[in-house]
Structure 1
Amino acid sequence: MQKPKELVKDLFTSSGSGGSGQLSRQRTKEGAYTKKKTKSFLPPIETHWHLPSPEEKKGSNLSFKKMLSFPFKLQKSFNKIERNQSTKMVLEGPHNPKEQEIVDKFRELLFVEGQLQVKHFDYHTLLRFLRMRDFDLMKAKDMFLQYLKWREEFHVDAIAKEFKFEEYTEVKKCYPHGFHGVDRYGRPVYIERIGMVDLDTFLQVTSIERFLKHHVSEQEKTLNWRYPACSLAAKKHIASTTSILDVKDVGLSKFSKPARYLFMEIQKIDSSYYPETLHQLFIINAGSAFRVLWKAIRAFLDPRTLAKIQVLGTDYTTSLIEVIDPSNLPTFLGGNCSCAEYGGCLFSEKGPWNDPQIKRMLQGMLQTEEDNEGELMNSQSSQDSSDGDPENVRIKIVYDVISLTDETKYNDQPLLHKLQEFEPVLEDTKAKIRSLEVALADTKSVLQGLSQHIEELKR
């Protein structure tokens, strides 16, 4: 088995077949204010790795004895999930064996830290944190533990499930932003027109605190609904976003104290708690005033994020159309879409996540996994070992439950990582018990010898 450092070296020198390749061949264009000074060391997170052919696949290493130890209802849930193998494989995507190995080591490290939960321990979530820290296990561990702490303190699950942003429409009028369509690879496209933000009106219709909660709820929805929907539509794993930031007329005068605070908080949330979800960012309509501001802003961005950013002037249409089909690009960005029936593209939420057929598929999976989760929770409760969260975001089953089953079953990896993580502890416990049994046997032998000696003295 390779050591983590050797795995990292292989990962940094490997290349995949997925992604648009935009970052690796960034061009010099008229209107582009910045040249690429950093580089992305890793391929896109959606990079696909060829699965072995059926005849090459190894048999499961799950023994019959282990299978007998699983609750009957859990086995039953596997049978239900197996019927949706092809759909789940699209959502989960094949895994890079080298990355899988280091992800497994990361799980073991977290287990040693006392993290026994299944939620957020899926392959893709752990991989995002590892990639953000260049596969440094200790740095990734610290970042991930901070993420879990933040989720608990900020009540993220409750926000995703219960938070209602009633001022949504009014906020969009003074802060134009939203998801609209997909890029040519199938990733969701996010657009912000910050040059049109009316901050005074924004602060009248909402508060920064409420908007940050809205932002978190949207991040959760993207991870757990938009990405799975895009994956089903593209028939391949989608796990990142292509973003467009229109900064027309943006300069120091618009970067007021409230604006700075909002920017810093959003940047902190996105980089610290939702790493590696940005595929590429186009900053367009960047004028001379923004160039001054950009020098200050880039100091707050990590190199990996900077490597994904192109700052363009007014000649941006060709760059956008190369990545996004005109049918998915609003007319105000040089595309063909207007979404007039919705009052504009940024009000439409156009995308696979609102496609009726895909919604039915995801909702069907949701219902199935809710039933499975209920069975698992009941089984855990009966054993007085439940660690479930009653405020679990139900939609999150698309990744969390898949990782518990298909991640292992259909990619020739051990079933149920969480259960297997207990095996070293169980083996150690068994060894200690055997040592105690030997010691007890020796003690019993000594006591028997003493008893015989006492009986002889009595005679």
Structure 2
Amino acid sequence: MRSPKAESEDRDVIIARGDGEDELCYDFHGLKFDCGSSGGKKKKSFHPPIETHWDLHPSASGKKSNPSPVKSLLSYPFMKFRKSKSLVMILEGVRDPKEKPIVESFREMLLQEGLVPPKHDDYHTLLRFLRMRDFDMLKSKEMFQNCLNWRKEFRVDLLPKEFNFTEYNEVKKCYPHGFHGVDRFGRPVYIERIGMVDLNKLGQVTTFERFIKHHVSEQEKTLKLRYPACSLVAKRHVASTTSILDVNGVGMSNFSKPARYLFMEIQKIDSCYYPETLNKLFIINAGSGFRMLWKAVKAFLDVRTVAKIQVLGSNYLSVLLEAVEPSNLPTFLGGNCTCSDHGGCLMSDRGPWKNPEVLEMIQVVNLREEIAGKCEDVEKATEDSSTPKKVDMQTKDDDNTMSLVEQTECPGSDCACNCKSAIQKIDCLEASLGEIKNKIKTLEDALQDTKMALKEHAQHSEQPKV
């Protein structure tokens, strides 16, 4: 017979919304730092999941949304699906009519102050910061500007070129973590086995600074690749992650100074620079030791983040299965998957973002958006070509600028016309490729026939006349 203490340890603990405490972030020395905190004692609003208003309406899609596996997506002809308007709607989502005017006003305010680089001029990005600050534009602007400054200092956009995490496999052995499958909505599932982390070995195979760069790289990959891929497969907009944290055996002794440093640095990055990307966090196998630790850890978390966390004991499986299908849960969490071909589930990075055809779709969409963005910039420049004004505009390298005078000195807006033409060419390029190949083959055959005819004519001309 189990003791009351054992039963209490297995009882589920659902963390409440919070009591309206100030929103604070801390650096690794335990000091407060400014990431646009609200201050005061005003209670924060708790918005529904960020995808709530982004489902396709039946009138928009013509069919009921179905978060089915990749197989359902690939039943469509690639070109037909790629060109359809529903593809754009899936990636962009259906916008909440109450939020849309606020986001547009926020964008205009940022544009007037030159605070929206082209690559971050994105509706959903701005919406994340607004939601994090309860749609207070001034506080959202401060947070957004802090994020842009951090990205420049951290060289986030240059990480793919400058940072190569060669110790990836070794790190996974002493810090088991990774993405694995999707939840029932279609969101990516992220898993960490904190109880198996060996910080001493981690410090031997990498540095904490490099691990943090790895974490930022994964956050960027999630925004730019995992969410779009999940959206395409689920056929509805996906914009957040469901996380599972296994804390079996974790207690106060695990919260050492190195552990606090790593935890607080990652928490600062996620809260201040990647807001509103967490859908739900399930903390499982929480014993009495972790529950004591949780009281200390909770102080470092944003109030809204705490509201998304559910702390569970060892009887967690039924709750997880409500959120994630067994096929997307590793066996060590009570699911059916082993990923035996990839060295284990947390080594596989299994998900829609690994499907080649889905990746091809995303690449095409990104190419079209890049060209469309350049066209919009050129069109704005040509509107004022009669009275050129020198306006600095950021290029791909944040450290360099170019003048729009160079673009506006060309009257007649040839550049804008060329951009529009380029977009049209992308639409018909693949369809025309087959016809071009057929024409080339026809020309080659005709050329061969002509050569044979000329050869026969030459032989006939050389014959003596009778």
Q: Same fold (TM over 0.5)?
A: yes
1:232 aligns with 2:232: yes
1:41 aligns with 2:46: yes
Shift of 1:135: 1.2
- Aligned positions of 1:10-409 closer than 5 A: 31-38=10-17, 41-48=46-53, 83-372=83-372, 385=391, 387-391=393-397
**Contact conserved, 1:180 with 1:188, CA < 8 A, in 2?**
yes
Shift of 1:385: 5.0
Number of equivalences: 339
Shift of 1:161: 4.6
One-letter code aligned to 1:46: E
SS at match of 1:172: helix
CA distance 1:286–1:52, shift in 2 (3 Å): closer
SS at match of 1:97: coil
CA distance in 2, matches of 1:182, 1:341: 19
Shift of 1:98: 1.1
Match of 2:448 in 1: none
Shift of 1:290: 0.6
Larger CA deviation: 325-334 vs 381-390: 381-390
Larger CA deviation: 377-386 vs 144-153: 377-386
**Contact conserved, 1:33 with 1:286, CA < 8 A, in 2?**
no
Deviations 1:410-437 (A, max 9, x none): xxxxxxxxxxxxxxxxxxxxxxxxxxxx
SS at match of 1:294: helix
Give the TM-score of the pair, scaled to structure 2. Answer: 0.68
Deviations 1:202-230 (A, max 9, x none): 00110011111111111000001000000
Shift of 1:367: 3.9
One-letter code aligned to 1:45: I
Shift of 1:47: 1.1
**Contact conserved, 1:377 with 1:386, CA < 8 A, in 2?**
no
CA distance in 2, matches of 1:342, 1:200: 26
Q: Any gaps of 5 or more consecutive residues in structure 2?
A: 1-6, 19-44, 61-80, 399-466
CA distance in 1, matches of 2:380, 2:257: 50
One-letter code aligned to 1:35: I
Shift of 1:85: 2.4
CA distance in 1, matches of 2:161, 2:240: 22
**Contact conserved, 2:247 with 2:290, CA < 8 A, in 1?**
yes
Deviations 1:132-159 (A, max 9, x none): 1111111111111111111111111111
Shift of 1:117: 2.7
Larger CA deviation: 283-292 vs 228-237: 283-292
**Contact conserved, 2:183 with 2:242, CA < 8 A, in 1?**
yes
Q: Percent identity at matched positions?
A: 62
Shift of 1:104: 1.2
One-letter code aligned to 1:38: R
Larger relative contact order (C-alpha < 8 A, sep ≥ 6)? 1
Match of 1:74 in 2: none
CA distance in 2, matches of 1:363, 1:389: 21
CA distance 1:194–1:53, shift in 2 (3 Å): closer
CA distance 1:113–1:373, shift in 2 (3 Å): closer
Larger CA deviation: 193-202 vs 29-38: 29-38
CA distance in 1, matches of 2:121, 2:129: 11
Shift of 1:171: 0.3
**Contact conserved, 1:377 with 1:388, CA < 8 A, in 2?**
no
One-letter code aligned to 2:48: P
CA distance 1:260–1:218, shift in 2 (3 Å): same
SS at match of 1:191: strand
